[in-house]
Homo-oligomer: A and B are copies of this chain.
Amino acid sequence: MGNPEGLEVGDLVRVVKNNIVLEGVVMPATEFTSPDVVILKLGNGYNVGVSVKNAKVEVIKKSYAHIGGEALRARTSISGRGTLRLSMISTGGTIVSKVEYETGAVKPALTAQELIELAPELLNEVSELEVIELFRLLSEDLTPSHWSRIAEEVAKRIESGAGGVIVAHGTDTMSYTAAALAFALRNLPCPVMLVGAQRSSDRPSTDSVLNLRACPVIASRAPFGEVVVVMHGHTSDSYVLAHRGVKVRKMHSSRRDAFQSVNDIPLARVDFPKKTFKLLNRRYLPRSSLQNFTVRAKFSSKVALIKAYPGMDCGIIDYLVDKGYEGIVLEGTGLGHVRRECIDAVRRACEEGVIIVMTSQTLFGRVNMKVYTNGRKLILAGVIPGSDMLPEAAYAKLSWLLANVRDRDEVRALMTCNLVNEINEVHDAEIYPRWYHG
């Protein structure tokens, strides 16, 4: 199922064999493709499979997708008949994968023009729509240093007067990035909306169009200045939800309504086809004035997220400490536990200045480490209870704090403080989903 050595999907290559010259873009191999065969999309649009055995193969141009996170900052812009200045920062993911599927090439993606082709009505709502392609990465390849660059780019758009910023993003780690941006961008004058797609934009079943169409509605109607994830609320095209970035999680590998709020309710919904905006959650950070907007975009790369399991290898904690890690978020069991055997390793880590935060793999609910012996021992060892924070949000928060707050005691204190509604002190009954019980 792979391509011959050195050739990757999207590369423009020239194959010379038996005096025949073929030039084309490398297409994805199928499971029936022999390992020595490359499938090329030729200039005439036809695909051809050719064996590279005894052939001269030359890569004319590497695909953008494999350059690996180099900032592109290609910018396109288009004028509309509306009043909203909307910016979209593209980081990659399925939502901008239309071109890849159409041509096999992975060229700088979704332009403003292509975005309008997907959702023409945007022209009625925006005075200007600009699209900045920052990078073109699958979201599992993003790291805390990418979060920094996204935060800086969003800040630039806001400072230049955008009335809403869309971040097109792969869905795999979208909730991590959303949480990270929520800590980095404060006193927002407008919503920052992470948008993705579970089905690529060239498929009839794509969810990207509706998600994009909801963005100007949220940008113009929402009272909140928060980082939100804007994704389908239903498998049909009936409504889209804006979830708080620090309280959302991808809960399904493929459904359009994969993103769901955990330990909180969504901030708002947009119903289609009428595009009515409905505020669902009264607890939100209101829009701020542009003067008060701040950005602190740094993140530490020396934080790890470790899940506890029966018989967990405590040496993983020692390994991270020895490697110079500054923080560890534990995804413990139940109310916030790891096995007794690991408490010594945890204590040693804390003594060496590593900040350890406890969250729960139950996802719903709150850690409470005072109930059982192991929890109390962990607190004595120095572990910080993470309240009802999602492991993902706690990870982004700790990475952000360690890069922006010098004093470690202050980092520890701030981990337990509610900064941007990442901690929800009151859990109403409706935040726990209803399960099928017959």
Question: Which A residues form the contact surface with B (CB < 8 A)?
Answer: 1-2, 8-9, 28-29, 31, 65, 68, 138-147, 170-173, 176-177, 233-234, 239, 241, 249-255, 257-258, 260-261, 265-266, 269, 278, 280, 301, 304-313, 315-316, 319-320, 323, 331-341, 360-368, 370, 372-374, 376-377, 379-380, 392, 395, 430-438
- What chain B residues lie within 8 Å of A147 (beta carbons)? 310
Contact A307 B310 (CB under 8 A): no
In the complex, which residue of chain B has the Cβ closest to the Cβ of A316?
A: B316
Contact A365 B266 (CB under 8 A): no
Contact B323 A313 (CB under 8 A): yes
Using A1-B376, A311-B144 as known contacts, say yes or no to A139 and B254 having CB atoms under 8 A apart.
no
Contact B254 A368 (CB under 8 A): yes
Show 18 residue pairs from A and B whose CB-CB distance is below 8 angstroms, ordered by the A residue.
A28-B373, A28-B376, A142-B310, A143-B339, A144-B310, A145-B311, A171-B334, A172-B337, A233-B437, A254-B366, A254-B368, A260-B435, A280-B438, A304-B316, A305-B307, A315-B323, A430-B436, A434-B434
Contact B138 A373 (CB under 8 A): yes
Contact B376 A269 (CB under 8 A): no
Among the listed B252, B361, B379, which residue makes an inter-chain contact with A432, where contact means beta carbons less than 8 Å apart? Answer: B252
Contact A1 B309 (CB under 8 A): no
Using A253-B364, A258-B365, A434-B433 as known contacts, say yes or no to A370 and B31 having CB atoms under 8 A apart.
yes
A261 to B436, CA, bound (A): 9
A233 to B436, CA, bound (A): 10
- What are the 6 closest A-B residue pairs judged by CB atoms, nearest first? A253-B365, A433-B433, A143-B311, A172-B334, A172-B333, A280-B438
Using A307-B331, A313-B320, A362-B250 as known contacts, say yes or no to A437 and B140 having CB atoms under 8 A apart.
no
A340 to B140, CA, bound (A): 8
- What chain B residues lie within 8 Å of A173 (beta carbons)? 309-310, 333
Contact B305 A437 (CB under 8 A): no
- What chain B residues lie within 8 Å of A31 (beta carbons)? 370
- What chain B residues lie within 8 Å of A260 (beta carbons)? 435
A205 to B266, CA, bound (A): 31
Contact B307 A306 (CB under 8 A): yes
Contact A368 B280 (CB under 8 A): no
Among the listed B68, B305, B362, which residue makes an inter-chain contact with A252, where contact means beta carbons less than 8 Å apart? Answer: B362
Number of copies: 2
Contact B239 A370 (CB under 8 A): no
- What chain B residues lie within 8 Å of A280 (beta carbons)? 437-438
Using A305-B309, A438-B280 as known contacts, say yes or no to A363 and B251 having CB atoms under 8 A apart.
yes
- What chain B residues lie within 8 Å of A304 (beta carbons)? 309, 312-313, 316
Contact A380 B1 (CB under 8 A): yes
A368 to B31, CA, bound (A): 13
A370 to B143, CA, bound (A): 23
- What chain B residues lie within 8 Å of A306 (beta carbons)? 307
Among the listed B140, B430, B431, which residue makes an inter-chain contact with A338, where contact means beta carbons less than 8 Å apart? Answer: B140
Contact B140 A253 (CB under 8 A): no
Contact B437 A364 (CB under 8 A): no
Contact B370 A241 (CB under 8 A): no
Among the listed B141, B363, B395, B436, which residue makes an inter-chain contact with A431, where contact means beta carbons less than 8 Å apart? Answer: B436
Contact B316 A437 (CB under 8 A): no
Give the Cβ gap from A85 to chain B, nearest Cβ, in Å: 29
A43 to B391, CA, bound (A): 45
- What chain B residues lie within 8 Å of A172 (beta carbons)? 333-335, 337
Contact A368 B253 (CB under 8 A): yes
A269 to B335, CA, bound (A): 26
Contact B436 A265 (CB under 8 A): yes
Contact B2 A377 (CB under 8 A): yes
Among the listed B68, B331, B333, B395, which residue makes an inter-chain contact with A140, where contact means beta carbons less than 8 Å apart? Answer: B333
- What chain B residues lie within 8 Å of A434 (beta carbons)? 433-435
Contact A251 B362 (CB under 8 A): yes
A367 to B434, CA, bound (A): 24
Q: Add 5 more A-B contacts to A140-B340, A147-B310 (CB < 8 A).
A: A28-B373, A143-B310, A177-B310, A255-B365, A433-B436
Give the Cβ gap from A335 to chain B, nearest Cβ, in Å: 5
Contact A138 B337 (CB under 8 A): yes
